[in-house]
Chains A and B, each alone.
Chain A
Amino acid sequence: MQNHLKWVVAIALITALVAVGGMSCTSEEEEMETYKVGAVFSLTGPASHLGVPEGQTVEMIVDQINANGGINGHPLEVIIYDTETNAEKCATMVNRLIEQDNVLAIIGPTTSGNSLAIIDTITAAEIPLISCAASTLIVQPVEERYWVFKTPQTDKQAVTEIYTYLEAQGITEIAIITDTSGFGAAGRDILIADAADYGITILDDQNFTSGDTSMQSQLTHIKGTNPEAVICWATDKESAIVAVDMQTLQMDTPLFCSHGIANMGFITGAGDAANGVIFPAGKLLIINNVPASDPQKEVLTQYKADFEALGEGTVSTFGGHAWDALNFAIIALEEMEEGLDTAEARAFIRDEIEQIEGFVGISGVFTMSPADHLGMMPGSLAMIEIVDGEWTWLQ
Chain B
Amino acid sequence: MSADQFVQYLVSGLTQGSIYALVGLGFTIIYAVTRIINFAQGEFVMLGGMLSFTLAISAGLHLVPALLLSVLIATAMGAIMYLLAIRTAKRASAVSLIILTIGAAIFIRGIAGELWGVDFVRPPFFTGSESISFLGAYIHPQALWIIGTTIVVTILLHLFLSYTMVGKALKACAISPRAAGLVGIDAKAMALIAFAIAAALGAIGGVVMAPLTLTAYNVGVMLGLKGFVAASIGGFKSPLATVVGGIVLGIVESLAVGVDWGPFTSAYKDAIALVVLLLILILRSGRLAAEERES
How long is the Cα–Cα vector from A272 to B130 in the complex, in angstroms?
A: 10
Question: B residues near A, CB below 8 A?
Answer: 1-2, 5, 8-9, 12-13, 15-16, 19, 117-122, 129, 131, 138-140, 143, 209, 212-214, 216, 218-219, 221-223, 253-255, 257-258, 260, 265-267, 269-270
1/0 per residue A23-58: CB within 8 Å of B? 000000000000000000000001011000000000
B219 touching A211 by the CB < 8 A rule? Answer: yes
Question: A residues near B, CB below 8 A?
Answer: 46, 48-49, 180, 205-209, 211-214, 216-218, 220-221, 223-224, 236-237, 240-241, 244, 247-250, 265, 268-269, 271-273
A46: chain B residues at CB < 8 Å are 118, 218
A248 touching B138 by the CB < 8 A rule? Answer: yes
- Which A-chain residue is minimally distant from B225 (CB atoms)? A211
A221 touching B131 by the CB < 8 A rule? Answer: no
A49 touching B270 by the CB < 8 A rule? Answer: no
How long is the Cα–Cα vector from A223 to B1 in the complex, in angstroms?
A: 11
B258 touching A221 by the CB < 8 A rule? Answer: yes
Q: Which of B120, B129, B140, B214 contacts A272 (CB 8 A)?
A: B129
B255: chain A residues at CB < 8 Å are 217
B1: chain A residues at CB < 8 Å are 224
How long is the Cα–Cα vector from A214 to B250 in the complex, in angstroms?
A: 11
Interface Cβ pair total, 8 Å cutoff? 111
- Which B-chain residue is minimally distant from A47 (CB atoms)? B118
- Which B-chain residue is minimally distant from A210 (CB atoms)? B222
How long is the Cα–Cα vector from A77 to B275 in the complex, in angstroms?
A: 54
- Which B-chain residue is minimally distant from A223 (CB atoms)? B5
- Which A-chain residue is minimally distant from B131 (CB atoms)? A248
How long is the Cα–Cα vector from A213 to B257 in the complex, in angstroms?
A: 15
A207 touching B267 by the CB < 8 A rule? Answer: yes
Q: Which of B117, B140, B216, B266 contacts A207 (CB 8 A)?
A: B266
B5: chain A residues at CB < 8 Å are 220-221, 223-224
Min Cβ gap B121→A in Å is 7
How long is the Cα–Cα vector from A247 to B9 in the complex, in angstroms?
A: 16
How long is the Cα–Cα vector from A220 to B270 in the complex, in angstroms?
A: 17
A217 touching B253 by the CB < 8 A rule? Answer: yes
B269 touching A217 by the CB < 8 A rule? Answer: yes
A236: chain B residues at CB < 8 Å are 120
Min Cβ gap B69→A in Å is 22
A217 touching B213 by the CB < 8 A rule? Answer: no
B120 touching A248 by the CB < 8 A rule? Answer: no
B131 touching A220 by the CB < 8 A rule? Answer: no
A220 touching B258 by the CB < 8 A rule? Answer: yes
How long is the Cα–Cα vector from A46 to B219 in the complex, in angstroms?
A: 12
B16: chain A residues at CB < 8 Å are 213-214
A209: chain B residues at CB < 8 Å are 222, 269-270
17 A-B pairs within 8 Å (CB atoms) are namely A46-B118, A180-B267, A212-B270, A213-B209, A213-B213, A213-B223, A217-B254, A217-B257, A217-B269, A220-B12, A220-B257, A220-B258, A224-B1, A224-B5, A247-B129, A247-B131, A250-B131
User: Most A CB atoms within 10 A — which of B19, B119, B223?
Assistant: B119
- Which A-chain residue is minimally distant from B260 (CB atoms)? A221
B213: chain A residues at CB < 8 Å are 213-214, 241
B257 touching A240 by the CB < 8 A rule? Answer: no
A221 touching B266 by the CB < 8 A rule? Answer: yes
User: Most B CB atoms within 10 A — which of A214, A265, A269?
Assistant: A214
How long is the Cα–Cα vector from A241 to B218 in the complex, in angstroms?
A: 16
B9: chain A residues at CB < 8 Å are 217, 220
How long is the Cα–Cα vector from A10 to B257 in the complex, in angstroms?
A: 93
How long is the Cα–Cα vector from A48 to B267 in the complex, in angstroms?
A: 28
Min Cβ gap A222→B in Å is 10
How long is the Cα–Cα vector from A222 to B223 in the complex, in angstroms?
A: 25
A237 touching B214 by the CB < 8 A rule? Answer: yes
How long is the Cα–Cα vector from A273 to B211 in the complex, in angstroms?
A: 13
How long is the Cα–Cα vector from A250 to B212 in the complex, in angstroms?
A: 15
- Which B-chain residue is minimally distant from A85 (CB atoms)? B118
